[in-house]
């Protein structure tokens, strides 16, 4: 008997899926990489301008280096003969005439005599100072001095003068004998004192001056108008000197009341300084006058030498007539003048990416001088920061007229200065 057989049916097995193609994955990676590179490049392109610091602002000065006081320059009425020089203290020279040849200066010499005495023996205002006694020999010389026609004050042996009184005798009635007495009192001898006079002249830069005596009687004592102005400016800085030369009279031992030979004192603001006259020198005058300008006192200093005349009265009259127009011209010329006005542009400021502002004067600047005078203008502007507010103080402008003191004023900014934004920097770079 046959066993029955079991029949097994097998299900067909599906084939495996085909493998993914590696090319599709590579393409995706390539596209992604390119996208990343593009994004990175764009980022780098945008950030690049921000990696570098902004350039510093450039400041360009627009104010001139010099300016001229407007108006017609003064015409100085110089004397037709001799020499003259005219100066305004703290401002400058109005000029000279007659050249620089050294000439006799007569009793103008006594300005140096008094200056040396006061430098060696200073006096305060009103102070009498030490005493000196006239010796028998000095008193005995008086008759011979008088016979020569010298300018003198009477003295006697044993007469006592204070330093101030002796200087008054020298500077007001122009006493030759007291100039010699003072010289010997200070230096031990007239000769030694004259050495001091010449040494002082050299120190002051009086290049064309030479002294041979303390009175000026000797015609070999010579100088120039320019040199005498140098000395006069220094002498007027001494309080006692300025006090004495401004006096119209004084009371002295033996002589009593003496008058100042300088008849201009008290007229046209004249406050000194010293007359001189000899046949060789002619009429001479070193002078000072004080005028008020803009609420302040200004001193005019000048010298006129070599005015002709047959005798002392004529010589002095002519030197006075030559001097008064000089004083009046200088006084009329001096004024206070605006040289920089509030708001005047001084500089421009150019910042990065077309940012800009201006710098201007914050106030008026006034100088003392006369029309036609040159004025130097100096500007100091600190480095400009990235941010600068409007109307902020920033720098200084200084004006100097002639020999005057500097006059300074603040500078201010115009519109506000700000650095460009990041977006502006990026956009400008595109």
Tell me the catalytic residues: 107, 110, 174
Q: Which residues pair with 379 in a beta bridge?
A: 397
| Distance, CA of 258 to CA of 250 (rounded, Å) | 5
CA dist 102 and 227 (Å) reads: 9
For the chain, give percent helix, strand, coil, nearest 5.
35, 30, 40
Residue showing tokens 């980022």: 43
Q: Give 105-119 as a DSSP string.
A: -GGGGHHHHHHHHHH
Burial 243-264 (b: 16+ CB within 10 A, else e): bbbbbeebebbebeebebbbeb
- Take residue 239 and report the two structure tokens written for it: 């309080």
Inter-CA distances, 154 with 103, 151, 183, Å: 30, 10, 17
Joined tokens for residue 291: 């005028």
């Amino acid at each position: 008997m046959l066993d029955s057989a079991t029949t097994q049916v097998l299900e067909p097995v599906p084939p495996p899926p085909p493998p993914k193609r590696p090319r599709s994955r590579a393409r995706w990676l390539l596209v992604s990489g390119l996208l990343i590179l593009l994004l990175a490049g764009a980022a780098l392109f945008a950030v690049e301008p921000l990696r570098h610091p902004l350039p510093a602002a450039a400041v360009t000065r627009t104010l001139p280096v010099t300016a001229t006081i407007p108006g017609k320059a003064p015409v100085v009425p110089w004397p037709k003969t001799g020499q003259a020089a005219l100066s305004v203290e703290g401002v400058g020279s109005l000029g000279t005439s007659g050249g620089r040849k050294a000439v006799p200066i007569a009793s103008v010499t006594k300005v140096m005599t008094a200056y040396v005495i006061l430098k060696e023996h200073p006096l305060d205002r009103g102070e009498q100072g030490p005493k000196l006694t006239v010796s028998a020999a000095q008193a005995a010389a008086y008759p011979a001095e008088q016979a020569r026609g010298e300018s003198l004050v009477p003295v006697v042996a044993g007469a006592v003068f204070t330093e101030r009184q002796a200087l008054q005798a020298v500077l007001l009635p122009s006493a030759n004998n007291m100039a010699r007495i003072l010289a010997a009192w200070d230096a031990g001898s007239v000769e030694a004192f004259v050495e001091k006079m010449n040494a002082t002249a050299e120190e002051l830069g009086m290049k064309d001056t030479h002294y041979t005596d303390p009175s000026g009687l000797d015609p070999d004592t010579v100088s120039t108008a320019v040199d005498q102005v140098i000395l006069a400016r220094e002498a007027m800085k001494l309080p006692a000197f300025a006090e004495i030369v401004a006096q119209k009279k004084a009371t002295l031992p033996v002589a009593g009341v003496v008058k100042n030979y300088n008849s201009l004192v008290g007229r046209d603001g004249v406050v000194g300084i010293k007359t001189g006259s000899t046949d060789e020198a002619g009429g001479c005058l070193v002078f000072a006058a004080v005028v008020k300008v803009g609420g302040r006192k200004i001193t005019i200093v000048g010298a006129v030498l070599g005015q002709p005349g047959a005798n002392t009265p004529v010589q002095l009259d002519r030197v006075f007539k030559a001097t008064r127009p000089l004083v009046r011209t200088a006084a009329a010329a001096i004024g206070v003048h605006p040289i920089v006005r509030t708001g005047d542009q001084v500089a421009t400021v150019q910042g990065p990416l077309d940012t800009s502002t201006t710098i201007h004067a914050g106030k008026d600047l006034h100088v003392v001088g006369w029309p036609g005078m040159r004025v130097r203008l100096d500007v100091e502007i600190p480095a400009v920061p990235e941010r600068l507010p409007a109307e902020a103080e920033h720098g200084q402008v200084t004006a100097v007229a002639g020999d005057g003191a500097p006059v300074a004023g603040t500078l201010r900014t115009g519109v506000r200065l700000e650095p460009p934004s990041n977006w502006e920097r990026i956009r400008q770079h595109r």
